[in-house]
Structure 1
Amino acid sequence: MKPLTNLHGEIAPLGDSALIIKFGTDINEQTHRITSALTKQIESDRFPGLIECVPAFTSVTVFYDPLEVFQHSSKGVSPFEKVKEIIKNTLYRLTIEEEIDRWTVEIPVCYGGEFGPDLEEVAQINNLTTEEVINIHTAGEYLVYMLGFAPGFPYLGGMSEKIAAPRRSSPRTSIPAGSVGIAGMQTGVYPLSTPGGWQLIGHTPLELFRPCEEPPSLLRAGDMVKFVRVTEVEYDKLKEGNF
């Protein structure tokens, strides 16, 4: 681990009970390491009034109880200024791991047909065969940058531009949980049945969101994902196994 010297994040208020720390606009692994390290440090050194930290692609949002923060502040110092000073001090002494031992989660996927109704369209968009799309998709290793949109929904980085595809012009009103999709340069898995406009290329029997377990999300920011192709027969057997 090494100190992140001269690390400057743009700190701005977000309403009266939160602030956001921004680290530019470039989505990359280095920025992800910074947001992850900052989130971990803030949660480790919890200050009075801290509610939670929410990391995103290039930022961290800190939610706090303004009344509790005010009670622990010097006279004349607003809750925002108090939390801002805490964050600035945390950034000053922040460290980051040069090498990270990441947890890799394999996600079995049955591609095409009723499991992936948009697979052929993705192939046509990229002048590829469906087999080539599947091979490229399963060859990648994907970093979970953050969770959002729906509980447990992973935003994955690292997809090949060879299979990039725009969102559907007409979103579906309901997409089954477990659907694997592509939108632009991203791929992801729907943990719950929700509306959505991603191009669906496959489906997994794996449950990504398990509300009765702790933690409820199978994936966490910083994990790696590997998609593994399975046949329909294998899919059915895995489904019966009730992951």
Structure 2
Amino acid sequence: MLPFTVHPVGDCALLAGFPQRIAPEIGAAVAALNSRVLAAKLPGVTETVPAFASLLVVYDPLVTDYDTLAAALQGLRDADGADTAAGEGRLVTIPVCYGGDFGPDLPFVAKHAGLTEAEVIALHTGREYRIYMLGFLPGFPYLGGLDERLFTPRLNTPRTAIPAGAVGIGGEQTGIYPIASPGGWQLIGRTPRKLFDPESGALPYTAGDRIKFEPITAAEFAALAAKEGTA
């Protein structure tokens, strides 16, 4: 596993920091360390929060302390194991209807890239994306791996309302709005899947997993939305 540094965060958390850049190997290392921490069931650990290049580990200071936990994390790093499964994560397929009312910014993204709308869709659905972290909204996945031809600046003026399931591009990343909210990303499509359940907090993915977008028609969107209860 890649080396990392450990720093205290207040009196009940520590941060394991990897080299500070967005890269597949860094994301895989964060996912692997998170997997090891969860599997080890370290006394006092109450929560882990993976990010682009770090892992926050929250603990109960009445059960453990910073020095004990920092040493345990370094021990997990040095333990044998390739972490292949944790590094790759699960592959989650997300159906998306692109363009039209589902993706009003698809024409702008295509024009900005010098491509047709069909070419943008083909590029967007033609690869897998690692979930580097969840944030901004409950279950909003920040995805790495966007084809650089699709890099598109955010809107100058964010929208005040974006529907749940909207798929967008913001700068060098793509992501999905799991619930209705304001936002400034360029919207290219929408998924009918229910991504976040506020009652259970359940999500179909987590940080470290991979997402593959699958294009669907408007009729398929309607059928799936009715089944998911998102119509």
1:107 and 1:38 map into 2 onto residues whose CA distance is 26
Distance 1:80 1:97, change over 3 A: closer
**Deviation (angstroms), 1:81:** 2.2
Q: Is the 8 A contact 2:88 2:208 kept in 1?
A: no
Q: Secondary structure at the match of 1:44?
A: helix
**What SS does the corresponding residue of 1:117 show, helix, strand or coil?**
coil
Partner of 2:81: 95
Aligned counterparts of 1:66 and 1:94: Cα–Cα separation in 2: 29
Give the CA deviation at 1:9: 0.9
Q: Residues 54-93 of structure 1: CA distance to partner in whole angstroms, max 9, x if unpaired?
A: 1111111010111222xxxxxxxxx222222222222222
Cross-structure match for 2:189: 202
Task: Please give the alpha-carbon distance, in whole angstroms, between the structure 2 residues aligned to 1:51 and 1:198.
Answer: 33
Verify: 1:146 aligned to 2:115, yes or no. Answer: no
Partner of 1:19: 14
CA-based RMSD of the aligned residues comes to 1.9
Structure 2 CA distance for aligned equivalents of residues 86 and 14 of structure 1: 16
- Do 2:94 and 2:191's aligned partners in 1 also have CA atoms closer than 8 Å? yes
Which residue number corresponds to residue 55 of structure 1?
50
Distance 1:187 1:109 in 2: 13
Asked if the contact 1:151/1:217 (under 8 Å) is kept, the reply is: no
For 2:28, the equivalent position in structure 1 comes to: 33
Unpaired runs of 5+ in structure 1? 70-78
What residue identity is the alignment partner of 1:143?
R
Does the alignment pair 1:42 with 2:37? yes
| Paired-residue identity, % | 44
Counterpart check, 1:189 vs 2:176: yes
The Cα offsets for residues 179-235 of structure 1, whole Å up to 9 and x where unpaired, read as 00001111111101111111001111111112445x701112232222121221221
CA distance in 2, matches of 1:84, 1:123: 48
2:218 pairs with 209, 213, 232, which one? 232
In structure 2, give the amino acid aligned to 1:168. Answer: L
- Per the alignment, residue 209 of structure 2 pairs with 223
Q: Distance in 1 between matches of 2:80 and 2:73?
A: 10
* 1:227 aligned partner, one-letter code: F
Tell me the TM-score normalized by structure 2: 0.90
Q: Distance in 2 between matches of 1:101 and 1:10?
A: 23
Q: Does the Cα contact within 8 Å between 2:89 and 2:208 map onto a contact in 1? A: yes
Aligned partners of 1:210 and 1:218 also within 8 Å: no
Deviating more after overlay: 80-89 vs 227-236: 80-89
Where 1:241 maps in the other structure, the secondary structure is helix
**Structure 1 partner of 2:152:** 165
1:219 match: secondary structure: coil
What residue in structure 2 maps to residue 72 of structure 1? none
SS in 2 for 1:15: coil
Query: 1:153–1:189: 8 Å Cα contact kept in structure 2?
Result: yes
Amino acid at match of 1:25: Q
Cα distance in 1 for partners of 2:26, 2:80 equals: 13
Aligned length: 228
Aligned to 1:76: none
